[in-house]
Amino acid sequence: MSAPIRKFLLKLVLEEAIRREEQAYTFYEEARAAVQEPAAGDLLRRLAAAELRHRLKLEELQRHAGPELTLETASPEEAELLDSEEPVRFSPGQPVRVEDIWKVALAKERQAQAAYSLLARKAALEVFREVFTFLSAEEGRHVEWVRGMAGA
């Protein structure tokens, strides 16, 4: 028996992706405020800037998305990649270990890479496939940046 197909409206997928990019931006900005190491702060600044650029790309794509466009997922794992995630926040004044920042960042970047890769495979229109492929590759570079900083 095949897995049930779950349909996602592309408009909602894009809204969710934009929200996630905004959350990632906030995470990196808060993390940057919590670290003392210049190299860590520089990477977190670069990651925040990249997430902002991603949001702008998605907003441009959103302007071209018609309300009737859908994406289908064939497994619970695929659907989970497109569902909401809870944001990670830092409490002001609370000590934050840099190792914990890299652990969360690595998980976020890997999840984003997988989600954009899925969207690139599922998108029916070439313009969407191109943007999602680009974003997946960007997130893959972020994974490598974070792994390099974390020594993983």
Q: What is the pLDDT of residues 19-66, one digit of tens each?
A: 999 999 999 999 998 888 899 999 999 999 999 999 999 998 888 766
Strand partners, 73: 6
Domain contains 88:
no
Mean pLDDT over 143-148 rounds to 94
The reply to whether 90 falls in a domain is no
Fill in the DSSP letter of residue 96: -
- Give the Cα separation of 152 and 141 in Å (integer): 14
Count of residues making up the chain: 152
- In which domain, by residue range, is 143 found? 6-83+95-150
Strand runs labelled E in 5-102? 6-9, 70-73
- The answer to whether the CB of 112 falls within 8 A of the CB of 20 is yes
Domain count along the chain: 1
Residue pair 27/104 in contact by the 8 Å Cβ criterion: yes
Strands 6-9 and 70-73: antiparallel
Give tens-digit pLDDT for 103-138.
Answer: 889 999 999 999 999 889 888 788 888 999 999 999
The pLDDT score that the predictor gives to residue 140 is: 96
Q: How far, CA to CA in Å, does 61 sit from each of 44, 136, 146, 149?
A: 26, 15, 27, 32
Is 1 contained in some domain? no
Q: Which CATH number is 17's domain given? A: 1.20.1260.10
Percentage of the chain surpassing pLDDT 90? 44
Q: How confident is the model at residue 78 (pLDDT cuts 50, 70, 90)?
A: confident
Predicted TM-score (pTM) above 0.85: no
Assess if residue 105 is contained within a domain: yes
Burial of 139 (0-12, 13-18, 19+ CB in 10 A): buried
Higher-confidence residue of 74 and 31: namely 31
What is the per-residue pLDDT for 50?
96
3-class DSSP state of 9: strand
CB 8 within 8 A of CB 122: no
Task: Give residue 22's pLDDT.
Answer: 94
With 50 as the cut, is the pLDDT of residue 73 above it? Answer: yes
For CA atoms 68, 73, 6, 136, the dihedral sign is negative
In the predicted structure, residue 2 carries a pLDDT above the cut 50: no
Tens digits of residue pLDDT in 25-36: 999 999 998 888
107: in domain: yes
Cα(84)–Cα(24) distance, integer angstroms: 13
Is 109 contained in some domain?
yes
Answer whether residue 146 is part of any domain: yes
